[in-house]
């Protein structure tokens, strides 16, 4: 079809007007966004200026601004976090697993601070500090009434600096002068053989260069200890650095594979991460353990190995954190850890479980609805889903504590009794010889009586609510005999609880003692033979036919 010259001119003008109008719309929209941003900042600064000049009392501007920043970021997601200069060490610890201190964990207990754990080989351990020791003061400043967060800040500092600490142990005070060191929390607190053929690695965090620890453990198990299969334990591993996750996957798969990609609004943070080394164990059967505490980089490892049909995943659905954070510098040495992208594992799925982008009217957020969850496929064609963490190939629930033993743990009865036991019993020759006698359990029961241990069962709590409601509705008097009779029937006794939960109670105490005598590695090793998820992992790795069938795709 031929178009006349005049029509061509009119068409050209129309196109120019359309493009110009569209460009103008985009420009106006952009200017509108920029204007709103500038306007909001200007209002905020003006407000601070007015408060500083005219508020009835003198204000702490820094405190108010920090609270405002925290409130602002909390409306986005829980992973975008502001770090003022004085807290920059916390961000360093998250990424590197290192900090300047003494190598101990603490918590508030009564008026003072109590040591709950010491890391082997660091200053606290070298100076004889033990779990259960109370911290009374640091450099002459009393810790009475001080929060554990504040005490932690006081204990941390530049490596090489010293602090004088006063402790109390079994009623006796003593003083120690400790020199701070660069504390590096091990990413692999324990590894070893759990039977004659199966190696085990407990992997707890994806900090800088954690791959070196995992690779070293894997090589030792494979080449020196004769491991033919591996259980990689990622339970309660909160994640960390993405590149370290890629390196872990690369231990088991060939180079050149895409492990994860990140995509967000700021294209500078879009990236594709591929394996680039020859694997250490390309053919070794692998079982990965996960639970609700496995998040972020842990989910990349578990999800990628599942998508590649390279490992069997056992345990519980993982946390579901498919978001990536980047640390950005701010003024005055402050920093912000900001969510910049979502990540996608080899099948193309994103496992983010919570939709922070579409909050409810009350500000709460919900999980990704089933209607939006999609099905993807592994390399062998096995179906896998997005939008809700990593779903294990074999689901094994965590062994739950009874209400009685849970209360023993929560009220620190297990911890406090272990402290008493530690100072009245010698070091066992080997971990396997650590066993509580009937006399030890009888002493624990007496200990509970001395400490006035008490708790309510769920049934008792529900009954008390029923009685309170009956009183409000004027129904108690007519039914008091039946209600009080029911109270007698449902009431628990310490004798019955201790006898009925003896095995579970004993296991908790012995586990705590394993940590006291043999550090974290001892506690982990003690738990392995009693762990139902570990036992299932051993069975799967030993049965090659079952292992291979679980990885096979659907029949065609």
Enumerate the active-site residues.
296, 307, 321
Q: Could you tell me how far CA 273 lies from the centroid of its own chain? A: 24
Instruction: State the CB neighbour count (10 A cutoff) for residue 174.
Output: 12
79 by DSSP, 3-state: which? coil
CB 510 within 8 A of CB 177: no
Query: ∠ CA(228), CA(233), CA(368), 5° rounding?
Result: 130
CB 100 within 8 A of CB 183: yes
Nearest to 74 by CA among 359, 309, 368: 359
Nearest to 294 by CA among 261, 317, 260: 317
Element counts in the chain: helices (H) and strands (E)? 17, 21
Could you give the CA distance from residue 319 to residue 374 in angstroms, rounded to a whole number?
A: 18
Q: Indicate if the alpha-carbon torsion angle 314, 318, 324, 328 is positive or negative.
A: negative
Query: ∠ CA(542), CA(548), CA(554), 5° rounding?
Result: 150
Could you tell me which residues come within 8 angstroms of residue 393 by beta carbon, excluding any fewer than 6 positions away?
306, 312, 313, 314, 550
Could you give the CA distance from residue 489 to residue 379 in angstroms, rounded to a whole number?
A: 58
Place of tokens 């490596």: 159
C-alpha distances in Å from residue 77, one per residue of 177, 211, 373, 545: 42, 29, 21, 44
Could you tell me which residues come within 8 angstroms of residue 443 by beta carbon, excluding any fewer than 6 positions away?
none
188 by DSSP, 3-state: which? coil
What are the φ and ψ backbone dihedral angles of 118, each rounded to 5 degrees? -130, 140
In 394-526, the DSSP E strands lie at 394-395
Could you give the CA distance from residue 172 to residue 178 in angstroms, rounded to a whole number?
A: 19
Element (H, E) at 527: helix 502-528
């Amino acid at each position: 079809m031929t178009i006349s010259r005049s029509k061509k001119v009119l068409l050209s003008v129309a196109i120019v007007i359309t493009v110009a109008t569209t460009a103008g719309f985009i420009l106006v929209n952009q200017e509108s966004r920029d204007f709103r941003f500038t306007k909001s900042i200007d209002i905020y600064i003006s407000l601070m200026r007015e408060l500083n000049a005219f508020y009835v009392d003198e204000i702490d501007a820094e405190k108010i601004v920090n609270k405002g920043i925290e409130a602002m970021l909390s409306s986005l997601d829980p992973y975008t976090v502001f770090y003022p200069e004085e807290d920059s060490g916390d961000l360093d610890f998250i990424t590197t697993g290192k900090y300047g201190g003494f190598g101990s964990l603490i918590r508030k207990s009564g008026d003072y601070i109590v040591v709950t754990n010491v890391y082997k080989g660091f200053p606290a351990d070298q100076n004889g500090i033990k779990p259960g020791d109370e911290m009374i003061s640091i450099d002459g400043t009393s810790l009475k009434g001080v929060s554990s967060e504040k005490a932690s800040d006081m204990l941390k500092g530049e490596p090489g600096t010293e602090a004088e600490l006063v402790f109390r142990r079994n009623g006796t005070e003593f003083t120690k002068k400790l020199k701070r060191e660069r504390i590096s929390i091990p990413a692999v607190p324990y590894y070893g053989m759990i039977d004659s053929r199966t190696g085990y690695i407990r992997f707890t965090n994806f900090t800088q260069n954690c791959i070196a620890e995992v690779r070293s453990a894997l090589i030792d198990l494979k080449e020196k200890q004769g491991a033919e299969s591996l259980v990689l334990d990622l339970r309660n591993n909160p994640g960390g650095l993405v590149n370290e996750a890629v390196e872990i996957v690369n231990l088991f798969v060939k180079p050149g594979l895409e492990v994860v990609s990140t995509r967000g609004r700021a294209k500078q943070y879009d990236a594709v991460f591929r394996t680039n080394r020859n694997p250490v164990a390309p053919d070794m059967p692998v079982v990965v353990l996960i639970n609700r505490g496995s998040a972020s980089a842990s989910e990349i490892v578990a999800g990628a190995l599942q998508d590649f049909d390279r490992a069997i995943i056992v345990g519980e659905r993982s946390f579901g954190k498919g978001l990536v954070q980047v640390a950005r510098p701010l003024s005055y040495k402050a920093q912000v850890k900001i969510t910049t992208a979502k990540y996608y594992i080899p099948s193309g799925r994103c496992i983010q479980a919570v939709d922070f982008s579409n909050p409810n009217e009350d500000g709460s957020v919900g999980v990704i609805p089933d209607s939006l969850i999609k099905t993807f496929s592994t390399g062998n064609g096995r179906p896998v889903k997005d939008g809700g963490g990593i779903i294990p190939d074999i689901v094994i629930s965590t062994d739950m504590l009874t209400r009685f033993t849970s209360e023993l743990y929560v009220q620190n009865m297990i911890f406090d009794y272990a402290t008493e036991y530690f100072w009245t019993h010698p070091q066992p020759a080997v971990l396997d010889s650590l066993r509580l006698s009937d006399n030890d359990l009888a002493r624990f029961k007496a200990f509970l009586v001395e400490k006035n241990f008490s708790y309510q069962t769920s049934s008792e709590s529900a009954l008390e609510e029923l009685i309170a409601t009956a009183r409000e509705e004027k129904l108690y008097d007519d039914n008091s005999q039946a209600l009080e009779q029911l109270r007698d029937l449902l009431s628990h006794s310490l004798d019955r609880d201790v006898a009925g939960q003896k095995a579970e109670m004993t296991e908790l105490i012995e586990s705590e003692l394993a940590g006291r005598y043999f550090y974290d590695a001892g506690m982990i090793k003690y738990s392995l033979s009693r762990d139902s998820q570990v036992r299932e992992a051993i069975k799967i790795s030993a049965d090659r036919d079952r292992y291979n069938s679980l990885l096979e795709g659907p029949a065609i």
